[in-house]
Structure 1
Amino acid sequence: MITKSNILKPAFIAASISAGIAVAYAFQPAKVADDNPQVVITAQKYEVLKRTCHETCLATVKAGEYDIYVEYALDDGSVEFMDILNVFKADQVVNAYIDRYEIEKINAAIAGGAK
């Protein structure tokens, strides 16, 4: 038979855990403004400024006022893979977001000027 103490013990443990989590959450530091906000990169045209290929291929792609440094590999004239290494604006690293559509445009610029 279930006794009153068998029912109250798990309820007390659950209440204690919930209270502990609430106290821990209350003492979290407040979030402050980000010093390096994320910038969404979009451009009408992407221009490949410089490329080098040794074991891997590296390219500098111009997107308006941003310089995007990428690593890529070509497969029969199309881009097999591309990895964005850094994005710079006026020689400063930018916390950048580049969506899939813009990456496709960068791939097209790289593949279009492939040698």
Structure 2
Amino acid sequence: MTTKSKFINTVLATTAGCLVAASVYAIFPPVQLEEKQQVAIQSSSYTIGYKHCEAACVAEVRADANTSIYVEYSLDDASVESLDIINVVRDDETLNAYVDRDEIAKINAAIVGGVQ
């Protein structure tokens, strides 16, 4: 096979691949994910639903009757050293939630003291 025929075969194969990809894209367009509106979490008090520590500490913190915040945390003596929010659920639906610094301080106090 000469260099010219190798080049032509490469161009034809590339063109065929592009046509196949374009056809697949036309038949199966990408799915548009619906963005959920962000909800700010605020509560006057937080209670601990449960907390469990083994390799990592996890807790369910209840903001109100129908909102639960699931967190992973680590303790340093008698205070919360780090806290990661895993999930926020309201009425059995996961929220796109924003929890500000003041609310995190309240959650930390609830974890250490049991109720805040």
TM-score normalized by the length of structure 2? 0.64
Residue 62 of structure 1, CA deviation: 1.6
Q: Determine whether 1:28 maps to 2:25.
A: no
What is the total number of aligned residue pairs between the two structures?
A: 106
1:52 and 1:95 map into 2 onto residues whose CA distance is 19
Q: Match for residue 45 of structure 2?
A: 47
Q: Secondary structure in 1 aligned to 2:13?
A: helix
SS of aligned partner of 2:28: coil
For 2:12, the equivalent position in structure 1 comes to 12
Deviation at 1:112, TM superposition (A): 2.7
What letter is aligned with 2:84? M
Unaligned runs of 5+ in 2: none
Partner of 2:93: 94
Superposition deviation, residue 93 in structure 1: 2.1
Tell me the equivalent position of 2:82. 80
Q: What is the CA distance between 1:19 and its match in structure 2?
A: 0.4
Residue identity opposite 2:36 in structure 1: Q
1:69 equivalenced with 2:69 (yes/no)? yes
TM-score (norm 1): 0.64
Pick closer, same or farther for the CA change 1:3–1:66 going to 2, 3 Å: same
Q: Compute the RMSD of aligned alpha carbons.
A: 3.2
User: Any gaps of 5 or more consecutive residues in structure 1?
Assistant: none
